[in-house]
Amino acid sequence: MSRPRLPRPAGASTLAAGSLTGTARRIIRLNHGFQLLFNLLWWMPVFYAYQKDAGLSDGQIFGIQSIYYVAFCLFEVPTGLIADRIGTRNCLWAGAVVMTAANLTPVFSASYTGFLVHFLAIAAGRSLTSGAASAYLYDGLRAEGCEEHYLKAEGTARALGLAAKVVCWPLVGPLMSLAHPAPYLLSAVSAAGSLACVLALPRAATSAAARRTDGPGRSGGGGTAKRGRGGSLGEAKAALRGLAASPWLVLVMVQGVAVFTLSRICQVNLFQPILLDHGIGEASHGTVLAAMTVAEAVGSARPQWLGRRLSPVAWVSVLSLVLAGTLAGITLGGPWTVVTLLCLFAAAAGFAYPIQRKLVNDAVPAGAPRATLLSVESIVDRGVCALAAVAVGAYLSAGRLDALLWHSALASAVLLGVFQLVLRARAMRYGPGGAEEPRTPEPHPKAVV
């Protein structure tokens, strides 16, 4: 059964199937630039050691991380609503401004308070863009009748951003020897560049899709038209109605928790402690992180390599188990084994992210506030990460890194087991194919190279 197509904008009907309009190409190119620059955090490979040098303890460092995740959850509530009210493009603009200021904070205050303010501002900036960026791209391409290119655009943007990190992160050490705050200064410059990309994005890309999907005066994907839902409270109620109307959306969001939490905790919070525990010095951290980033970039750019043997939902579950297995394997090997497993971990995360993102976007009911619902997903993910960060600090303070890795792997396996039981129950209730939402009959990543 073929996917029903939305009407194309005027002039698009003459395009060959799969062709990109000029506006769609512009949206994709600028989205690539925004994702690359906004997420190019030069300080990532050294922030743990940087804060240790500033006199912070492990408890303070991971306490800040926990506060960061909690703040992210709190900020996601208003920012998702703001994106659906003022437009996703405006929300991206605000996020880029906040991120630029956030990266400058440690330059002027390398203290506990300075780093706390820094991460709180990072949480605000990222929450402003977490749902808005995906919603803008999805609805912008749909407005041009090019929605089949979304998966590749999302994956390629992530891959390009990761490739930029491969080039930049090995330079952090030498640059710090010239100017100690260089990683934070360069991160601020990159964030300012992302603002330039946002300002060049088409203003009305999503409003066209909104007019077709929701009718006059309503914006289905965060466009600038008024919704008439009674303000932010109306947006929140609409998001809750969307969740209630689509149990499949809730299931897909829950499935993504394992992928996001494992990848975030390992690649950000545990990356440096793992390497230090296996005798890999700080001078090599940038190189190792670059190698991991190459692996993740390859996976993000080519999710279609996984093939059609399994459904997208099954692939995300399998990749989540790979993530859990590599964490457990890290406790058993030497330095080279650890580096290899970390690269495998990164590749699995790279494959999983664009597939999971497309699953969530496809599951959003027609007419529901997309950016708000994507923010709900972020709230769930970051809420679990906040709890995990507290546990990480406790485990590391007690010198129990191996136990932490094993327990993380086991908890993920249990979560995925419960998820599969729920899917089986759903399939038995609705019959064959009942585990997949009926309105998205072909959600699998296609070969759109």
User: Residue 83 has what pLDDT?
Assistant: 66
Residue 122 has pLDDT above 90, yes or no: yes
Enumerate the H helices of 170-284 as residue ranges: 172-178, 182-200, 205-214, 231-245, 247-264, 271-277
Mean pLDDT of 109-113: 90
Phi, psi at residue 9, to the nearest 5°? -65, 165
Per-residue pLDDT tens over the stretch 419-429:
878 777 776 66
Residue range 186-234, pLDDT digits in tens = 999 999 999 999 998 887 554 444 444 443 333 334 343 444 444 455 5
In this predicted model, what pLDDT tens digit does every residue of 146-175 receive, in sequence order? 878 887 888 788 778 877 887 888 888 788
pLDDT of 385 over the 80 cut = no
Mean pLDDT of the chain: 76
DSSP-derived secondary structure for 63-124: HHHHHHHHHHHHHHHHHHHHHHHH-HHHHHHHHHHHHHHHHHHHHH--SHHHHHHHHHHHHH
Report how far residue 181's alpha carbon sits from residue 185's, in angstroms, rounded to the nearest whole number: 6
Phi–psi pair at 150, nearest 5 degrees:
-60, -45
Distance CA 367, CA 349 (A): 30
Q: Which is higher by pLDDT, 191 or 358?
A: 191
Higher pLDDT, 286 or 273: 273
If 0-12 CB within 10 Å is exposed, 13-18 middle and 19+ buried, where does residue 63 land?
middle
Q: Is residue 145 part of a domain?
A: yes
pLDDT tens digits, one per residue of 25-49: 888 999 899 989 998 999 988 888 8
Q: Residue 384, Cβ neighbours under 10 Å: how many?
A: 19
Q: Is residue 94 part of a domain?
A: yes
Lowest mean pLDDT among 8-17, 350-359, 360-369, 409-418: 8-17
Provide mean pLDDT across the span 266-287.
78
Q: Residues 282-307: pLDDT tens digits? A: 667 777 877 887 888 788 777 777 77
Q: Tell me which amino acid residue 256 is.
A: G
Look up the domain containing 80 and give its range.
22-214+241-430
Q: Is residue 438 part of a domain?
A: no
Would you state the pLDDT for residue 18?
55
Give me the mean pLDDT over the 118-124 stretch: 92
- Quote the CA–CA distance of 445 and 219 in Å, as a whole number: 27
Residues 6+ apart with CB under 8 A from 391: 404
The closest of 356, 333, 168 to 254, measured between CA atoms, is 356
Q: pLDDT at residue 104 above 60? A: yes
- Return the CATH number at 315: 1.20.1250.20
Across residues 321-343, what is the average pLDDT?
A: 87
The DSSP annotation for 26-53 comes to HHHHHHHHHHHHHT--TTTTTHHHHHHH
Per-residue pLDDT, averaged over 247-270, amounts to: 79
Report the sign of the C-alpha dihedral through residues 235, 250, 410, 354, in that order.
negative
Reply yes or no on whether the pLDDT at 244 is more than 60: yes
Residue 9 lies in a domain: no
Residue-level pLDDT at 106: 92
| Predicted pLDDT of residue 138 | 83
Where is pLDDT greater, at 179 or 81? 179
**Neighbour count for residue 192 (Cβ, 10 Å):** 16
Tokens 């951003």 label which residue?
161
Q: Per-residue pLDDT for 182 more than 80?
A: yes
* Number of domains composing the chain: 1
Q: Is the pLDDT of residue 93 over 80?
A: yes
Confidence at residue 127, expressed as pLDDT on a 0 to 100 scale: 82
| More confident: 298 or 95 | 95
In whole angstroms, what is the distance from residue 424 CA to residue 434 CA?
A: 9
